[in-house]
Amino acid sequence: MRKVWAIVRLTIAESIRTRVAIAFVLLLAGVMVLLISTASGDGTVAGKIQMFMSYSMGLTYFLLALLVIFLACRTLDQDIQSQRIDSLASKPLARWQLLLGRWLGIVLLALFLFILSMGTTYTMVRLYARSAKEKTQDKFKIDNQILVARRGFMPPLPDVSGQVEKRIAELKAQGNMPQNRGYTDVQKMIGDELIRQTRTVNPRQQGIWVFKGLPKPQQGEVVLTLRYKYEPSITTTRDKESNLRGDTIYGQWIIGRREAKNVYITSPMEKPYRTLQELNIPINAIDPDGSLTIAFINGDPREVAVHFPPQDGIEILVHEGTFEPNFIRTAIIIFSAIVFLTTLALACGTFLSFPIASLVALSAFFVGIGGNFLYEAMGKFGDETVLNTFVRVIGGLLSGKDVLNNCERLISLISLQIIPVLDASVFTSKLIDGRIIDWNDVAGQFGNLVILKAGVLAIFAIFVFSRRELGKITV
């Protein structure tokens, strides 16, 4: 291990003495100062905290990703091009030890810088939080909706499979099954529509949802949050008669069962639609069996139906932990992506020159950042898998039909399987919303990025580098 540590020390010393790391620290410090002096959010301290956290963590991740890609792509290529590798590789140092040392050196350097940056972010967040005035709505929001770890509960989706099959049978009998859609596609479309109907509250009616499995009320926990977002069936305009503004919906919430002791009914409220709203409710609205009933009464006089989207239309957020562990878990997830990028860049550097290796690694990084967008686009693929698309490509090659189209889809599917989602904003958004990022999330990201994908890349890198001729000869 002494040999590996020698390479680790060399890598860190190189980064510092060639001033690459120092340039990064200065850049990051400049960005932090800029954020501190300019971040204002929505004018509240809570908004300022959310904006500062979002930008500082996002920029730290982005800059650090660029740094590790640069260092990892450059290190081997520079050794080989300058022929320093001759002295090194003629010593009793296995190629894998050289790779491991380089990798570990960059990862440790990145870890140090990451801790420095995240430490600054945390300190600033705490200083901002302290600056909020006590007993204000702002302070309440900071303490109960941002600097907390809350778990979200959705109402269970109704089982509509029976209705779907019945409807498909009817369509078949009528000969109205769409010809250009697969069976699975039609099934999904009908199912989505039926679920949508269960989330729609018509004028002067109420929608009732029962949440199950909520934590039983305990002493000290006082607040639950109902988070909701609704969409109108038609665009509402200003109503002079009822004195309602445009782009709003008028309704009322009933928390708890009507027949239970602890039932809370809000005043009728006018709230803008298509924006997230939060409503604090007492914890004792939860029944002893861990269920909670919530009803929305559509009292809008403008004859508008209200729809709650299944993804984020209605949710109960329960306080489950504190901010600090949540912050640390988010940091681990972000750093897992940094470790993956280091491995990817180093693997590219084992067989590509610095410019090409960095181009490949940067491309993968930017595709990975947009990974969520790609996964959403994946919906277009429906029931297609790599295997059945491959079969279609073969079939296309034999019949000469749709070859290009199928190849394109196959490449897209494989790319989506290989390139992991590197979009850290998924997790930072959760953090600044005060949502819990639990250890399962950490294990999932760490396992996928570091153990699985970086592991495969590391094996590939060792295989390639061990077989590469390192000596350079002018002939």
Q: Which is nearer to another protein, 2 or 130 (CB)?
A: 2
Which residue from 51, 63, 93, 171 is in contact with another protein, where contact means CB under 8 A? Answer: 93
Q: Which is nearer to another protein, 10 or 171 (CB)?
A: 10
Shortest Å distance, C-beta 90 to another protein: 4
Which residue from 26, 29, 33, 82 is in contact with another protein, where contact means CB under 8 A? Answer: 82
Q: Which is nearer to another protein, 216 or 472 (CB)?
A: 472
Quote the CA–CA distance of 180 and 183 in Å, as a whole number: 10
Backbone angles phi, psi at 374, to 5 degrees: -65, -40
Which residue from 27, 63, 66, 89 is in contact with another protein, where contact means CB under 8 A? Answer: 89
Alpha helices (runs of H) in 147-214, residue ranges in sequence order: 161-174, 183-198
- Regarding 6 and contact with another protein (CB under 8 A), the answer is yes
**DSSP letter for each residue of 318-363:** EEEEEHHHHHHHHHHHHHHHHHHHHHHHHHHHTTS-HHHHHHHHHH
Chain centre distance of CA 268: 35
- Regarding 90 and contact with another protein (CB under 8 A), the answer is yes
Shortest Å distance, C-beta 101 to another protein: 10
Total residues at interface with another protein (CB under 8 A): 29
> Which tokens hold the place of 375?
């996964």
Part of the chain binding another protein (CB under 8 A), chosen from 9-17, 186-194, 195-203, 290-298: 9-17
Quote the CA–CA distance of 266 and 260 in Å, as a whole number: 16
Which residue from 53, 84, 271, 367 is in contact with another protein, where contact means CB under 8 A? Answer: 84
Dihedral angle sign, alpha carbons of residues 388, 393, 398, 402: positive
Which residue from 10, 31, 116, 195 is in contact with another protein, where contact means CB under 8 A? Answer: 10
**DSSP letter for each residue of 268-294:** PEEEESSS-EEEEEEGGGS-TTS-EEE
- Regarding 475 and contact with another protein (CB under 8 A), the answer is yes
- Regarding 5 and contact with another protein (CB under 8 A), the answer is yes
- Regarding 286 and contact with another protein (CB under 8 A), the answer is no
Shortest Å distance, C-beta 79 to another protein: 9
> Which tokens hold the place of 233?
């069936």
Q: Which is nearer to another protein, 17 or 238 (CB)?
A: 17
Backbone angles phi, psi at 253, to 5 degrees: -110, 140
Which residue from 23, 26, 34, 94 is in contact with another protein, where contact means CB under 8 A? Answer: 94
Part of the chain binding another protein (CB under 8 A), chosen from 90-98, 160-168, 376-384, 387-395: 90-98
Which residue from 37, 42, 91, 240 is in contact with another protein, where contact means CB under 8 A? Answer: 91
Q: Which is nearer to another protein, 254 or 464 (CB)?
A: 464
Shortest Å distance, C-beta 26 to another protein: 19
Query: Which residues, other chains included, contact 94 with Cβ-Cβ below 8 Å and sequence gap of 6+?
Result: none
Shortest Å distance, C-beta 16 to another protein: 9
Backbone angles phi, psi at 231, to 5 degrees: -130, 140
Of 295, 207, 297, 206, give the one whose Cα is nearest residue 251.
297
List the beta bridge partners of residue 317. 152, 225
Shortest Å distance, C-beta 92 to another protein: 4
Quote the CA–CA distance of 256 and 283 in Å, as a whole number: 10
Instruction: Residue 50: count other Cβ atoms within 10 Å of its Cβ.
Output: 26
Which residue from 37, 87, 176, 311 is in contact with another protein, where contact means CB under 8 A? Answer: 87
Shortest Å distance, C-beta 472 to another protein: 9
Quote the CA–CA distance of 431 and 147 in Å, as a whole number: 8
Part of the chain binding another protein (CB under 8 A), chosen from 8-16, 33-41, 353-361, 438-446: 8-16
- Regarding 13 and contact with another protein (CB under 8 A), the answer is yes
Q: What element of type H or E holds 232? A: strand 231-232
Q: Which is nearer to another protein, 23 or 386 (CB)?
A: 23
The answer to whether 441 touches 427, Cβ cutoff 8 Å, is yes
- Regarding 22 and contact with another protein (CB under 8 A), the answer is no
Q: Which is nearer to another protein, 30 or 471 (CB)?
A: 471
Of 4, 2, 3, give the one whose Cα is nearest residue 104.
4
Quote the CA–CA distance of 253 and 448 in Å, as a whole number: 41
Residues forming the site for another protein (CB under 8 A):
2-3, 5-6, 9-10, 13-14, 17-18, 82-94, 469-471, 473-475
